[in-house]
């Protein structure tokens, strides 16, 4: 692995909005946050400066789905960057077994152990 490439942090954020009327409100409701909003994905460099922001998606969209729709790993691979992300992005990287990972995440705890 080339650790010098890891320059960005990947995370998503829900921006709260007012509830919409009718059936339009359902796609903007986030069950995780228990409120209505819009989801944005952001990339920051190691100094905390904003590098990239995704288009907004309805609040019910998960972070990993928003990244897959935007083909984030392909864009990271094209510019030669890698990202460090939280456990919400486990399984996002679509690289082969011999390829360097584009997104590094932690490991989930097993249900049977620590």
Mind listing the pLDDT tens digit for each residue in 24-79? 778 888 888 888 899 999 999 888 899 889 999 998 899 999 999 988 888 888 88
User: pTM value?
Assistant: 0.77
Residue 104, classified by CB atoms within 10 Å of its CB into exposed (0-12), middle (13-18) or buried (19+), is middle
3-state secondary structure of 74: helix
Q: What is the DSSP letter of 89?
A: G
Cβ-contact 85, 11 below 8 angstroms? yes
Closest CA to 8 of 39, 50, 41: 50
Cβ-contact 53, 46 below 8 angstroms? no
């Amino acid at each position: 692995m080339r650790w010098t490439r890891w320059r960005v942090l990947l995370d998503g954020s829900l921006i709260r909005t007012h509830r919409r009327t009718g059936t339009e409100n359902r796609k903007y409701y986030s069950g995780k946050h228990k409120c209505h909003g819009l989801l944005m994905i952001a990339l920051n460099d190691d100094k905390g400066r904003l590098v990239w922001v995704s288009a907004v998606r309805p609040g019910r969209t998960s972070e990993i789905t928003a990244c897959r729709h935007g083909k984030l790993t392909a864009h990271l691979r094209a510019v030669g960057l890698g990202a460090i992300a939280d456990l919400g992005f486990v399984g996002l990287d679509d690289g082969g077994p011999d390829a360097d990972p584009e997104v590094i995440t932690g490991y989930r705890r097993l249900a049977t152990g620590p």
